[in-house]
Structure 1
Amino acid sequence: MSGSDDLALASGAMPDRARTMRRVATGLLVLMAAVFLVSRQYLGMHPAVGYVMAFAEAAMVGALADWFAVTALFRHPLGIPIPHTAIIPTNKDRIADTMAGFLRANFLTPQVVARRMAGMNIARGIGDYLAAPDHGGAGVRAGAAELFAEVLESLDPERLGEQVRSGLKNQLDKLEVAPLLGNVLSTAIADGKHLPLVDSTIRWAGLTLEANEPMVRTMIHERANALLRWTGLDERLANSVLDGLYRMLAEMLVNPDHPVREKIEEGLEKLAHDLVHDPEMRARVEGMKHEVLSSPAVGVWWQSVWERMRRGLIDMARNPDAAMGGQLGGAISELGQALRDDPRLQIQINRFARRSAVGIANRYGDQLVRLVSETVKRWDATTITQRVEGAVGRDLQFIRINGTLVGGLVGVAIHALDALLS
């Protein structure tokens, strides 16, 4: 809210009922003045007129005295700078400090916060709200999803994607991947989970050899000597080599104890061991990791992946029938039921909330009350006057009305006592 809006709000702070009561109080003063003037004209007609005149006279005094007192709180009466008037605007800084001290001493001390929260079952209240089918989990889910979508849309996609990539890169830089890969590979070999991968590699080798068979034949022909080519043995040699390779791949695929398979498994076991225990291997893996993470191509690839992820998350968040909406709503409802029905969970949540509130009061209490004090001090005299008067103005006008009536009754009592004694 801008400063002009704030001032406009302050200028209209006094409610219509307060203005109405001000008019009533002022009208009552005018009425007493009129009654006083009329009764003074007919004072000798009847003894009762004296009581009316005494009531009106004392009522005017009481009304004027209370008008002065009420007005002096907020401004100089009739614009005259009488000492000890315009009390609130003149002492607004001291009032701000007093308010801050009152808040600190009575609301934001750890003892007060702990005592007030001791009887509160915050977890149960949150659980009742989240578990409610109509306004609880559904409302939270819709609000959280919309907020999530708006945040993703408002932020710069490229900058956000780069920040996410930088964060992941920093975390991966701290993580030594070689021992992790070695342990994963060792576990896979121990459980036999590497065998499908070996079989797939053998099949891939066979398909690759078949697809590149002309190139293999050409290589053999080129490397054969002139005698082999003249006698045509180079073609038979190429056929023999290819047949041998096909036969070896087929035997490796059907025979789990094939020597080449055993060599492959020995190589995998050695690789797993070196990834964990060989410093040179670990350094090479770390170097490869840093090269990959620093590659511009990886940055371009990640940006495209992030943009697809971002658009997908926005669409899912704004689609009430999407999987995210259903899962989020179900999770919120289950959380609410757990908080509502599990006493042990309630104790833990309430204890955590109480400790957090006490910690906040202890650590940030002075800053919170300083914020209140500095905010009030920044208000100008007109703003603080109108805000306070708008808050209590109606009750202050009742003081004027009561002063008028009480003053009149006191005047009648004095007049009656005077008549009795004379």
Structure 2
Amino acid sequence: MEHMTLLIGIVIATALVFDFTNGFHDTANAMATTISTGALKPKTAVAMAAVLNLVGAFLSVEVAKTISGGIIDESAGIKPEMIFAALVGAIVWNMLTWLAGLPSSSSHALFGGLIGATLVAVGRHGVHGDAVVMKVLIPALAAPIVAGLASTLATRLSYRLGRNADPETTARGYRAGQIASAGLVSLAHGTNDAQKTMGVITLALITGGVVAPHSDPPLWVIVSAGAAIALGTYIGGWRIIRTMGKGITDIQPQQGFAAQTGAAATILASSHLGFALSTTQVCSGSVMGAGLGRTGAVVRWSTAGRMVAAWALTLPAAGLVAAGAALLTDQGTWGVTTVAVLGLAICAVIRTAARRKPITHANVNDEPGAEPQGAVTAAIAAVIPPPAGSGPVTPAGPAAPSTATA
């Protein structure tokens, strides 16, 4: 086996940066409803999620194998430069959707980046199309629907079982249940999403001849990927937490418990089967299902529509960015340097834009407004337009609708 080169080291560092962005981008998956119902204080919630993300990273490597030897052909001439380009495409899209407060899929950003860079670098034969369809696209369509249906049924059952109980006592009980179910989602998120970075790092090590083809991720890769996603989770993606906790529907403890339990079951089952699904889509689908399951609840379909649009755009958008980056990295050292500088510059601009209208643990439970403002957000809104003004929301049950800001 060859020694690790500087370029492979850069790829590994970039993969861990992506893992970090995955953590803060997807914190909302486990903790948005728990925070919005007051079951846990915001900082306590993200700390708990971070610890369980780290633990979950050690539970399986099946998804990592799907990344390192499933959707991309290891023997097709894949180079570390291509993987670097793929990661830059995924990171840029993650940052843009975080700025807009949209819970898009970090997983699909990574898949799109890998596919786009591979198509440019080695051609169509470098992508296993059947694996992409069976283990990425079909789960992407099915998982949110399955989780949403499970959440709808669980929500209706919860309210039916508690219809004669004291509302305050019932709410306290479900808040306790939310803490347990949120922990399960966090564990599932670490099991599924941390493995994706493990798979990318392992792929880089294979292409560089550091480890043998079809190898499992080395222990140090598992530890570093788990630590990176846990740190990102602890930072807290407050913009997306607000969207999922307040922007889709008004969540009560019964709904939060049902949504998180349905999501956790879906994610853990998929991880066991090696399906690299989007935990974001699963959890968002569960929240929408919880809104539909409570009579008289409202679902803000304008916000949901923007989320679905972001889901549809994620894979091709990250793929296009990665394809452009791959064209540059193929030119040699100056191309790799240019991609690195451009990626850092874009992330710095996004971070600066976010600071103009910060969302933190202190204001995460405020009603969603029009933030963030600025030129970058205006560019995003041109592709994924926000709802105009304060539009009416659609009731999920027969009770009279109320009006809320989307």
- What interval of TM-score do these two structures reach, taking the shorter chain for normalisation? under 0.3
Computing the radius of gyration from Cα coordinates, the structure with the larger value is 1
TM-score (norm: length of structure 1): 0.20
Structure 1 or 2: more helix by fraction: 1
Larger RCO (alpha carbons 8 Å, 6+ apart): 1
